[in-house]
Every structure is written in structure tokens, then in C-alpha cells.
Chains A and B, each alone.
Chain A
Amino acid sequence: MRHILLMVCMAMLMTSVTTAVAAKIPTSLPELLEFYSAESNQPFDAERGKEFWLKKTPADDGKMRDCTVCHGEKLTDSGKHVKTGKVIDPMAPSVNKERYTDRKKVEKWFKRNCKWTIGRECTAQEKGDVLKYLSLH
């Protein structure tokens, strides 16, 4: 009898820890550059990436948008979401080891942020150039 009750206890404890698991695709900066190079036609260039990072695009709200609007002026510092003020961890891999270690996350934010900032998805060339630029910090 005691065993049955204990088993019931265990079963209840086990059912309490079922939460959704985020799918990750572990990666590294060299692997990401390799991944995007498959769809680009010229070698990635940090200078071109920097230009793209700082390029201002007019938005519907009449304001200009570029990557620094949320990520801040200095890549080794935290940024701040332009609307909600939520802190965004630094983009520089030298101070933020978490950056560029999950391809799923990188792709998600490229998709969202390219659409918000320039009104369309970025090309593999643009992504690679930007990553090359960011990787130097």
C-alpha cells in the first residue's frame, strides 16, 4: 500500500515539470558565416556590414530607423528597446558570450529586425556582412 502511494506521489511530481522546450540550433560565428556564404555571391566584408548597420531608413511613423535605434551606439554596451525600454544585451561577442551561439535565435531576430528596420528581410549577403562586422567587437 505504501509503495502505491509513493508511486502516486512520484507521478504527480513528474507531471508538474512538463514545460515547453525551446528548439535550439547550436552554432558559432564561423559556422554562421559559412551558413550564409552558401547563398551569397561575394566574400563577406566588415566595412560593408558596418555601413548596413548604420544605414538609416525612413519608417511609416516619420522617424529614421537603423540598427542603433535599439542596439545603441556602442556594440560593447547594452542597448534599449526603442519602445518598451527593455534592456538588450550587448551585440559584441567579446563581452557577450551568448551571442551567435544559436542559429534559430539569430535567424528569428534577423527576420523580425530586418523587416522592422528596412521593411524587408535581409539577404544572406547582408546578414553575413553584418555578422562579420559584429564579430570584430
Chain B
Amino acid sequence: MKIYRLHTLVLLLLLAGTAGQAGADEGGFYSWLLSVERKGEVAPVNDEVYKEECGSCHFVYQPGLLPAASWRKLLAAKALEDHFGENAELDEDVRRPLLALLEKHAADQSYYKRSRKIMASLKGATPLRITEVPYIRRKHDEIPERLIKPNAKVKSLSYCDACHQQADKGSYDDDTVSIPGHGDWTW
């Protein structure tokens, strides 16, 4: 009986361990299923190289916001030379592991709710811009244009963290939205 209880304890610890890791590495369907944390949003990014290489210039977009095919187009060596008008060239020894990381955690590989919805809305499309994802466009439809473009502290939907206060943690819930010059966004 005692041994049986010990095993249960160890098993529980194992499960808790996989749940805690899930943010960094989803580890497949079962670790997602057994995870105790809410799988609502987008998997957060924990990779220091990704944060450094991409986050020096812009918000660290979570890999789960686009499908792997989109990341492959964006991270192609040639494409990086003109990355939305900027030169974002990477050495091959950095570019390859980064692309591998993005492919591994891309929306089509993720069980997180928003990644699933992004994939469902894309219907096979592979956009270069996250703002072109139908699901994301639809989610921002009701926000008046005057709060975005003419708003100096927002300017464009590309700046996720201008309004989404928890964007860096992969959370895009309504409750965490605060539009500069407007305040909390409630429905």
C-alpha cells in the first residue's frame, strides 16, 4: 500500500512537471491534455535567442501566431534582407535554429486555443503578416479606426503590446486590453 502511494505521488509530480514545461515546449497532445494550466491563449516564448534576435527590433511575436509555412517564407535568407522594409539578415548558424524553433512551435503545431482558431480561419493560406490572419482581423473588427491609426501610442495592429498588457506572456484576453488614450476595452 505504501509503495502504491509513493508511485501515485511520483506520477503526480511527473504530471505537474510536464504541465509546467508546457509553456516552453508543448510536448504533444498528451502533455497538453494533462496540463493543469489554462490552454486558452498562445504558447509564450521562452527562448532567449529568439527574444534577442527578433525582439531587438520589434515585439516578440509568439511562434503560435502563424503557421510553419508562413515562418518558412519570412525566415528565408533572401526574405530577411528585406523584412518589411528593414534589413534583418541573420547568419546561417542563427537563422537555421531560429527557423526550426518557429516551425516547431508554429500555429499548426500548437494546441493552444488561439493557435487552433488561427489555423481554422486561414484555410490553408500562409500570410506574411499576422494582421492578415482572418481570425485576428475579425477579433479587431469592432475597434474604431480612430483608436488605432491616428493614435500615436498605437499606430497599427502590428504593435500587439501597445494595448494587450499581457501580450509578452502570450495572453490576448479581452480583460487584459487597455487602449492608450481610451482605457480598458470592455464589450
Contact = CB atoms under 8 A, between A and B. Distances in A.
Contact of A19 (B3, B6, B47, B94): B47
Contacts of B86: 83, 112, 116
Given A19-B49, A20-B97, A23-B93, A85 B17 contact: no
B98 interface: yes
A22 B48 contact: yes
A112 B159 contact: no
Interface in A1-60: 1-2, 5-6, 8-9, 12-13, 16, 19-23
Contacts of B84: 83
Nearest to A89: B56
Interface residues of A, number: 28
B87 A9 contact: no
Interface centre among B18, B85, B86 (most CB of A within 10 A): B86
Given A1-B3, A81-B57, A84-B58, A113 B87 contact: yes
A74 interface: no
B1 interface: no
Contacts of B122: none
Contact of B89 (A8, A22, A81, A112): A112
Contact of B94 (A13, A23, A88): A23
B14 A19 contact: no
Nearest to B52: A22
B96 to A, nearest CB: 10
A116 B87 contact: yes
Given A5-B7, A23-B93, A23-B94, A12 B14 contact: yes
Given A23-B94, A108-B91, 12 more contacts: A5-B7, A5-B10, A8-B14, A13-B17, A16-B17, A16-B24, A19-B24, A19-B49, A84-B57, A84-B159, A86-B56, A104-B91
